[in-house]
Structure 1
Amino acid sequence: MIKVLSVFGTRPEAIKMCPLVKELEKEEKIKSVVCVTGQHREMLDSVLNIFGVKPDYDLSIMKENQTLFDVTISILDKIKQVLIKEKPDLVLVHGDTSTAFVTALSCFYERIPVAHVEAGLRTYDIYSPYPEEFNRQAITLISTLNFAPTEVAKSQLLKEGRKNIYVTGNTSIDALKYTVDSDYSSDITEWVQDSKLIVLTAHRRENIGTPMENMFKAIKSITEEFLDVKVVYPIHMNPKVRDIAKRILGDNPNVRIIEPLDVSDFHNLLNKSYIILTDSGGIQEEAPSLGKPVLVMRDTTERPEGVQAGTLKLVGTEFENIYNSFKQLLTDKIEYNRMSSTANPYGDGTASKQIVNAILDYFEGEKNYEN
């Protein structure tokens, strides 16, 4: 029996890891153990409930105004006992969060193999996104197995001399099968009615300040010019983000700033949208499966496949670029149709199954495990 410990702690990680946990639970040759760090709290718990995943361990590290120092120290202090007690054959971490990095580091100290889900994403600018680009590169140095979402990610891992690389697609696409309902309705969809629904997400640390002010000012200008545009912004918990949003968008009748949605409501909101504006990573993968054009309000992206395919457009954080790109999608039907009809480069919704099969193949080649 192969003991696989899955560790995650934030809402985005949970959305992408829960479908994989459910797939691990189906495999009789695998003993699945789940540990959450609680790097996010309420947002994490909501995702766990929707997917029906019950953690075996909850480190509950979150505290008010926590810093990267706090997160790192807390996880290092608490994860050690889980690793010592469980003695897993493999630890799964996801992406580029501090939870993933610190868990991988802890496994390195204990000489436990690490498998990296969503491996190989790169901007090669260590401060963009921050601290995620450092985290993902550091995890790669530690990982034994690398589950790359695309051939581009694989090529970057090969360039860095990595082995045991499996191209699986992205588990975020798997999650949509659990959450999207074609008959979905809510008070938000009723509020929008015949208007164009724009979903906005913005929270990145490196964008707080002038870049985020530029984003919100561009959105404000568009809503004043196009009265049939309504923007819904499920706002991040960060108080600095909230202050900027309230100051620039708070009195706008065509903008609704709402509390974070659970994953089911959020995915269905994306599915009902006309355009998505974001500085997030995961949405860049999900939106192509839903046929939604995405304006990425960042200067770099570690997901170039979507830009190359044409479903994503990197618009930076300057007011004019965001405004002009937003306006073009509202007025140029040819460009809108081109972006919304592009095939998703991030997989077909079978990533979790492919990862489980790869784990089995790896261990069957390494050791003879008894059930």
Structure 2
Amino acid sequence: MLVGTKAQFIKTAPLLRELDGRGAAYRLIYTGQHSETFSSLEEAFGTRAADDHMVPGNEADSAPGLVGWALKFTLAAWRRIRAGAWRGASWGVVHGDTASTLLSALALRAAGVRVAHVEAGLRSPRLLSPFPEEIVRRWVSRLADLHLAPDAPALANLRGVSGRVVDTGGNTLLDALRLALDRLRPEHGQGGQGGYAIVSLHRTENLGSAAAFKILMQDVEATARQLPVRFVLHPVTRRKLQRSGWMERLSRQPGISLLERTDYVSFVRLMLGARLLMTDGGSNQEEAAMLGLPTVLMRTATERPDGLAEGGVVLSRLDSRIVAEFVAKHAGTSWTVRDLPADRSPSAVIVDELVRSDAGADRH
């Protein structure tokens, strides 16, 4: 099991807990693409420490940093392959559409290990948008032997691929969110009681465009004039704010609080207290749709359907008028926290598939 980013950890943690609950043997490997908050996530989810760190203590929070990490990871993987460290593994599990997903899948294939891809089948009609996620998705689908798809559109997108395609009945984020809500049950019920907005931005398409970034920051400022804003900073976003001068500008405004990232349960607590969420993150979109938290998706387009049809999630198209209307609508209202379905566990379905083949063998 190879994990590289915070979002991957959150969505993979329920799989680790399911494997531990069944007493199944596996190895957990951190790729080192991200390292920040991993120890707090381990504590929050009750998962054990990793068996191996490919690039210890690394945080690839810039384009040069990502290239440097990729080179170090490739060298570390090659050394492990030559030493036979992954020999005998029945499956190598990768998740999602990050650089870690692709490089891990390539390394596993080079080691002769079959690849299982969790959250397989997400597709955009455009090869270069979002970049590089769409390229990663399509490439990994050619490398994977087991495609673990969360929904009907994903299954349809995987028609014709080689290997086995399995409907997991949902995203593993459902299991992670259920775990967090169980711990927060006394606070669970009516959302928005904190009376603030959450902002979470990190996508390359937004941070890499000066024009798009300026629009986003102006939208944050405008929102802060309607209700308090709690801006959760990803490492790459913090770096962008510092270099662009926006960190100082935002920190001077009394309605904006700049927050460091925290563990997952604490972030879910933050969402429960919010009136609305402004984000460009796919995982945040999925979480908000499951919870019922009103969300404006700060992107020009999205391939994720979560919440859009029901109206709980609104696509901004980077149009400040859409954002302003959304904020005006929800700034003074609360919302009802949805009950998550208790009759299915995508993580259990995935582990069933993994354990069914070569039960008891080491899994990476």
- Tell me if both proteins adopt one fold, taking TM over 0.5 as the criterion: yes
SS state at 2:147 partner: strand
Correspondence list, 1:223-234, <5 A: 223-224=224-225, 226=226, 229-234=227-232
Deviates more, 1:62-71 or 1:42-51: 62-71
Identity of aligned residues (%): 25
Whole-angstrom CA distance in 1 between matches of 2:361 and 2:223: 62
Out of 2, 7, 21, the residue aligned to residue 7 of structure 1 is: 2
The answer for the alignment partner of 1:73 in structure 2 is 71
Whether 1:42 and 2:36 are equivalent positions in the alignment is yes
Tell me if the contact between 2:198 and 2:271 (Cα under 8 Å) persists in the aligned partners.
yes
1:40-63, CA deviations, whole angstroms, 9 ceiling, x for partnerless residues?
Answer: 112223212322321110123526
Whole-angstrom CA distance in 2 between matches of 1:22 and 1:368: 17
SS state at 1:302 partner: coil
Change (3 A) 1:194 1:304: closer
Deviates more, 1:245-254 or 1:92-101: 245-254
Whether 1:23 and 2:18 are equivalent positions in the alignment is yes
Change (3 A) 1:248 1:307: farther
1:50-92, CA deviations, whole angstroms, 9 ceiling, x for partnerless residues?
Answer: 2232111012352675433223222211123445313211000
Post-superposition offset of 1:141: 0.9
Whole-angstrom CA distance in 1 between matches of 2:86 and 2:109: 15
Letter in 1 for 2:326: S
Out of 27, 36, 41, the residue aligned to residue 33 of structure 1 is: 27
Letter in 1 for 2:346: A
Give the number of the structure with larger relative contact order, counting CA–CA contacts within 8 Å between residues 6 or more apart.
Answer: 2
Whole-angstrom CA distance in 1 between matches of 2:232 and 2:9: 18
SS state at 1:177 partner: helix
SS state at 1:161 partner: coil
1:340-360, CA deviations, whole angstroms, 9 ceiling, x for partnerless residues?
Answer: 68887x996611111011223
TM-score using structure 2 length: 0.85
Whole-angstrom CA distance in 1 between matches of 2:44 and 2:224: 34
The answer for the alignment partner of 1:110 in structure 2 is 111
1:17-47, CA deviations, whole angstroms, 9 ceiling, x for partnerless residues?
Answer: 111011112234x311110112111222321
Change (3 A) 1:343 1:301: farther
**Structure 2 unmatched ranges of 5 or more:** none
Letter in 2 for 1:201: S
Post-superposition offset of 1:195: 5.7
The answer for the alignment partner of 2:164 in structure 1 is 164
Post-superposition offset of 1:241: 3.6
Post-superposition offset of 1:124: 3.0
Change (3 A) 1:69 1:356: same
Aligned length: 344
Letter in 2 for 1:100: T
**Structure 1 unmatched ranges of 5 or more:** 1-5, 186-192
Deviates more, 1:275-284 or 1:50-59: 50-59
The answer for the alignment partner of 2:90 in structure 1 is 89
Post-superposition offset of 1:272: 1.8
The answer for the alignment partner of 2:185 in structure 1 is 182
Letter in 2 for 1:294: T
Letter in 2 for 1:113: R
Change (3 A) 1:248 1:122: farther
Letter in 1 for 2:148: F
Whether 1:284 and 2:273 are equivalent positions in the alignment is no
SS state at 2:26 partner: strand
Whole-angstrom CA distance in 1 between matches of 2:295 and 2:38: 25
Tell me if the contact between 1:15 and 1:263 (Cα under 8 Å) persists in the aligned partners.
yes
Change (3 A) 1:347 1:152: farther
Letter in 2 for 1:12: A
The answer for the alignment partner of 1:122 in structure 2 is 123
The answer for the alignment partner of 2:303 in structure 1 is 302
Output the aligned Cα RMSD: 2.8
SS state at 1:222 partner: helix
Post-superposition offset of 1:285: 1.2
The answer for the alignment partner of 2:51 in structure 1 is 56
Whole-angstrom CA distance in 1 between matches of 2:307 and 2:339: 9
SS state at 2:212 partner: helix
SS state at 1:234 partner: strand
Whole-angstrom CA distance in 2 between matches of 1:148 and 1:201: 26
Which structure features the higher share of helix residues?
1
Whole-angstrom CA distance in 2 between matches of 1:240 and 1:7: 28
SS state at 2:121 partner: coil
Post-superposition offset of 1:368: 8.7
Deviates more, 1:277-286 or 1:126-135: 126-135
TM-score using structure 1 length: 0.83
